[in-house]
Amino acid sequence: MSDHADDGLTGPSSLDRRDFLKWGAVAGGSVLAAGGVGAGLPLLKGPRLPWDIDDIGLPPSGPVPLTGGEWIPAPCWHNCGGQRCLLSAYVVEGRVLAVKSDDTHPDSPETPQMRACARGRAQQGQVFGPDRLRYPMKRRNWEPGGGRRELRGEDEWERISWDEALDLTAAELERIMAEHGNESVLELGSTLRRLFTALGGAVTNWGSTSWGTWYHTGPMIGLGDGLSSTSHNDRLDLENCELIVLWGGNPAWSAQGNSMYYYLQARRAGAKFLFIDPYYNDSAMTLADEWVPVRPGTDHALALGMAYALLDEDDPERNPLVDWDFLNRCTVGFDPDHMPEGADPADNVRDYILGRRDGVPKTPEWAARICGVSAPRIRRLARRIARTRRTALLTAWAPARTHDSDSWPQMFLTLGCMTGHIGQQGRMTGVSCWERTADGGPFLVGAGGTGVPPLRGVPRRTTARINNSELWSAILEGEYTAGDGDRRPIDLRAIVHDGASALNQVSGLMKGIEAHRRAEFVLTLNFVYNPNARFSDIVLPVTTQWERHSYFKGNRDHLIWARQVVEPQYEARDDAWIAAELGRRMGIDFADMLPVSPEQQTFNRLAGAWVVGPDGRGRERLVTITKDDIREMGVEGQPQEGRITLPEFREKGIYLVPRRPGDGLGHIAFESFRREPERHPLSTRSGRFELHCQRMAEFVRDVGFSRIDPIPVYRPPAEGYEETFDDFERGIKGPHPLQLITLHYRRRTHSVFDNVGWLRESFPQEFIMSSVDAEARDLATGDVVLIRSRHGSVLRPLFVTERMMPGVVALGEGAWADVDFRTGLDRGGATNVLNGARPTGQGHQGWNTCAVEVTRYRGPQRLPPDWRQPPRQPKGAV
């Protein structure tokens, strides 16, 4: 029982009942969930009860009558890390009454139903939610040129017509581009990309986000990045594993849908699971036979310690731990005899590990001090992985989402190569996360192209691209890094949020707010009043995928075709229409912007859809299309033969490739390469796995933030464990002694879904702390704590658990910032308030390296549970 949560004493007292009713009234035809009829005498029941909050995204309370409507496939469209699940919406008179999961075919482990997670099942709360953007709006104190810019984020709003909104937007963008050039507009999404291309381009952003350093390092050293290409075997082969190492991953949270089900099949087949992670997370809870807690950002040091132990204890005769055959045939850079062309033989990995290069042997004892795993345990860990023949050495992106970690993927690969767990049944090394969790290999089915021709022949007036970690400083300081020693001036006047959620989702949020208040013009296209919209001047409401013609999604062995579920809500419009209308006002031909109708695009994707042939060879057409189908769709095309008829595909919304063991559709990553590296070289410079990768070192140098070695040298990361100390050598802790990790949180997919009542209730955006650290600070679950980093401060309710490693704290990423401008504190729990914008290495986001301190909050701010707080809605207009 916790005091701050006293619902008898606190509550959303700043809002009265009328406000709630007002929200209900503007919902237009929605039915209020709460009612007073028969509810006794509310006055005598004390203060407001939770159910007094009308979540108008929901149908009326009580069993949902499933009559008089139809089920329409309504899969998620989000960047969720899930398996691309199928959902169906029950639609009655344009309203969705309920959402159910895939039941289009019988469920089996080999060909499972694509079951969705809690977020997908709560989708209706998002499409029909109370904070849906309804009409075009203008900030009250905005005028061309900016008006009172400092009021962004706090100003009131005025509802305006589409014509006025489009006219104002086009005129202001034209004015700024005319006065300051194309290089004064920063486009931070992509849905207006075609418009800006037609206008000669705008400044865009770059830099790896979720991938961490896997994005660039992975492919350069010969492994996949984990999304566009994979390095692990397919899900049915996981059942051949004896040991599955999951290093820094929590698919139960970050890759929802079937991925944990796939891992559970492997467990049932006898695989043991070893988790290496600071948090005994829900995946570890379900699967782990062994858990090795490790400090964030120190995985590289741990792996070095293990590598040392392998070299130290390896005896090719009596105790073979290192797969020298694999190292010699399939890699370059491990020892002086196998260096890539032109490399200094002294720059080899073995001698670095043994300390012959820098005088510091990377012994388990050396590693223990950094990573927090005892030396004997590091040795046991190394032995276990090396001695278990069929081992999957899998990692997620999280350990690479740390500063200065450009060499970590290479170190991970080194471990995989030393143990030889690559390219054979039940043996693999690589990234297994996000939607490719537990299922590697090329796709077996896919959709065709849209047939929309790219815009050609428009001269580019800017090529400037700004790293994510310099976006806000570029606006505030007028300078950005364009390369090694190449700082360039830039004069950014307009910010365009066409999709994405850059303000909330890029490091350095507090600076971002400042930058938004500096700009002359901020435009947002979105369907909810998220932080982007809140800090804008003009907001244009867009449709969700449920309101659009159709879209395609898929994964390795299924393809989803989703058609329109409901009519556009309120005055929302498709981004493409908005782009075309803006273009028309700016002198761009309408036909250039919308060259292919949505119907024809859908048809093109269906007609071009393919499925792998029997035994995994060749491709066949997927969809059977008749003349009638073409006539009915009102498009141009030819009939064709395929595996599934168009009406059946439309009805079911999904096509799955049936799977069974030995069906020829399985995948062993690098199998042919391992057998014959000369005949099947990798796409690296040397054609082998590059444990010495000159290209990577050059790439990082050219980016211009820092330097790395071509071999996996451990570099203490900015704001890593070492920086929690004032004096690391003498063990004196500094003012930010705790390490924060930012988790993919189950309430959201990044910032999406943060507004849905059901999910806010189920997942309270708790701040997670180890019981050891809580005891030391006299804190308990339910306390409101103040979390301070070098970059900002956040208030959150504390959740204490023994499952977190001491010294480490965690917060889910993606919560919408709710900064109180008097105190400067963020009440929403937005991790990018804490994560500073510190570009390192390849310019990736280092979200899992952040040093913080946590204290009990004693100030005046109240913090009722998120789900009892009012929905985020624009002041003055809804």
Site for other proteins in 103-122 (CB under 8 A): 103, 107, 113, 115-118, 121-122
Q: Is 269 left (phi over 0), alpha (psi -120 to 50) or beta?
A: alpha
Nearest to 511, CA basis, from 835, 141, 206: 835
Count of residues engaged in binding other proteins, rule: CB under 8 A: 93
In degrees, to the nearest 5, what angle opens at C-alpha 70 toward C-alphas 67 and 74? 130
Q: Which of 100, 383, 563, 585 binds other proteins (CB under 8 A)?
A: 100
Binding marks (x or -) toward other proteins, 116..155, rule CB under 8 A? xxx--xx-x-------------------------------
Nearest to 57, CA basis, from 745, 548, 541, 759: 759
Report, in Å, the least distance between residue 9 CB and other proteins.
Answer: 7
Q: Which of 16, 22, 39, 875 binds other proteins (CB under 8 A)?
A: 39
Place of tokens 């729990």: 829
Q: Which of 168, 198, 241, 252 binds other proteins (CB under 8 A)?
A: 252
Stretch that binds other proteins, among 57-65, 469-477, 480-488, 697-705 (CB under 8 A): 57-65
The nearer residue to other proteins, 47 or 270, going by C-beta atoms, is 47
Q: Which of residues 62-81 bind other proteins (CB under 8 A)?
A: 62-64
Report, in Å, the least distance between residue 44 CB and other proteins.
Answer: 5
The nearer residue to other proteins, 286 or 450, going by C-beta atoms, is 286
Query: Hey, what are 775's tokens?
Result: 């005891």
Q: Regarding beta strands 243-247 and 272-276, do their DSSP bridges make them parallel or antiparallel, or are they unpaired?
A: parallel
Q: Residue 664 to residues 234, 391, 474, 616, 679: CA-CA distances in angstroms?
A: 11, 22, 52, 6, 22
Q: Which of 45, 660, 675, 856 binds other proteins (CB under 8 A)?
A: 45
Query: Hey, what are 525's tokens?
Result: 């296209």
CA distance 139 to 653: 41
Residue type at 715 in one-letter notation:
R
Q: Tell me: does residue 626 bind other proteins (CB under 8 A).
A: no
The nearer residue to other proteins, 257 or 677, going by C-beta atoms, is 257
The nearer residue to other proteins, 624 or 801, going by C-beta atoms, is 801
The nearer residue to other proteins, 626 or 762, going by C-beta atoms, is 762
The nearer residue to other proteins, 135 or 280, going by C-beta atoms, is 280
Q: Which of 799, 816, 847, 857 binds other proteins (CB under 8 A)?
A: 799
The nearer residue to other proteins, 261 or 443, going by C-beta atoms, is 261
Q: Is the dihedral of CA 241, 244, 250, 254 positive or negative?
A: negative
Residues contacting residue 745 through CB under 8 Å, at least 6 positions apart: 253, 763, 765, 812, 813, 814, 815
CA distance 839 to 705: 6
Q: Which of residues 264-293 bind other proteins (CB under 8 A)?
A: 264, 280, 282-283, 285-286, 291, 293
Q: Helices 214-221 and 408-419 meet at what angle, rounded to 10? A: 40
Q: Please answer whether residues 830 and 205 qualify as being in contact, where contact means their C-beta atoms are separated by less than 8 angstroms.
A: no
The nearer residue to other proteins, 220 or 302, going by C-beta atoms, is 302
Stretch that binds other proteins, among 98-106, 141-149, 331-339, 561-569 (CB under 8 A): 98-106
The nearer residue to other proteins, 357 or 369, going by C-beta atoms, is 369
At residue 630, the 3 state secondary structure works out as helix
Q: Please answer whether residues 168 and 138 qualify as being in contact, where contact means their C-beta atoms are separated by less than 8 angstroms.
A: yes
Report, in Å, the least distance between residue 557 CB and other proteins.
Answer: 17
Q: Which of residues 739-758 bind other proteins (CB under 8 A)?
A: 746, 757-758
Residues contacting residue 146 through CB under 8 Å, at least 6 positions apart: 519, 520, 521, 537
Report, in Å, the least distance between residue 865 CB and other proteins.
Answer: 6
Q: Helices 162-180 and 575-585 meet at what angle, rounded to 10? A: 60
Q: Which of residues 502-541 bind other proteins (CB under 8 A)?
A: none
Q: Which of 58, 86, 560, 579 binds other proteins (CB under 8 A)?
A: 58
Report, in Å, the least distance between residue 798 CB and other proteins.
Answer: 8
In degrees, to the nearest 5, what angle opens at C-alpha 632 toward C-alphas 628 and 635? 100
Report, in Å, the least distance between residue 211 CB and other proteins.
Answer: 24
The nearer residue to other proteins, 280 or 527, going by C-beta atoms, is 280
Q: Tell me: does residue 485 bind other proteins (CB under 8 A).
A: no
Binding marks (x or -) toward other proteins, 803..832, rule CB under 8 A? x-xx--------------------------
Report, in Å, the least distance between residue 459 CB and other proteins.
Answer: 51
Q: Tell me: does residue 14 bind other proteins (CB under 8 A).
A: no
Residues contacting residue 794 through CB under 8 Å, at least 6 positions apart: 767, 786, 787, 811, 825, 826, 827, 828, 829, 830, 831, 833, 834
Stretch that binds other proteins, among 49-57, 218-226, 706-714, 822-830 (CB under 8 A): 49-57
Point out which residues pair with 99 in neighbouring strands. 89
Q: Tell me: does residue 706 bind other proteins (CB under 8 A).
A: no
Q: Regarding beta strands 808-813 and 738-744, do their DSSP bridges make them parallel or antiparallel, or are they unpaired?
A: parallel
Q: Which of residues 344-403 bind other proteins (CB under 8 A)?
A: 368-369, 372-377
DSSP state of 812: E
The nearer residue to other proteins, 151 or 780, going by C-beta atoms, is 780
Q: Which of 26, 34, 455, 458 binds other proteins (CB under 8 A)?
A: 34
Report, in Å, the least distance between residue 878 CB and other proteins.
Answer: 20
The nearer residue to other proteins, 580 or 779, going by C-beta atoms, is 779
Q: Tell me: does residue 53 bind other proteins (CB under 8 A).
A: yes
Distance, CA of 738 to chain centre = 24
CA distance 824 to 513: 11
Query: Hey, what are 724's tokens?
Result: 């929690």
Report, in Å, the least distance between residue 160 CB and other proteins.
Answer: 33
CA distance 621 to 751: 37
> In this structure, what are the phi and psi dihedrals at residue 259, rounded to the nearest 5 degrees?
-60, -40
Q: Which of residues 759-798 bind other proteins (CB under 8 A)?
A: 759-764, 766, 770-772, 780-782, 797
The nearer residue to other proteins, 291 or 326, going by C-beta atoms, is 291
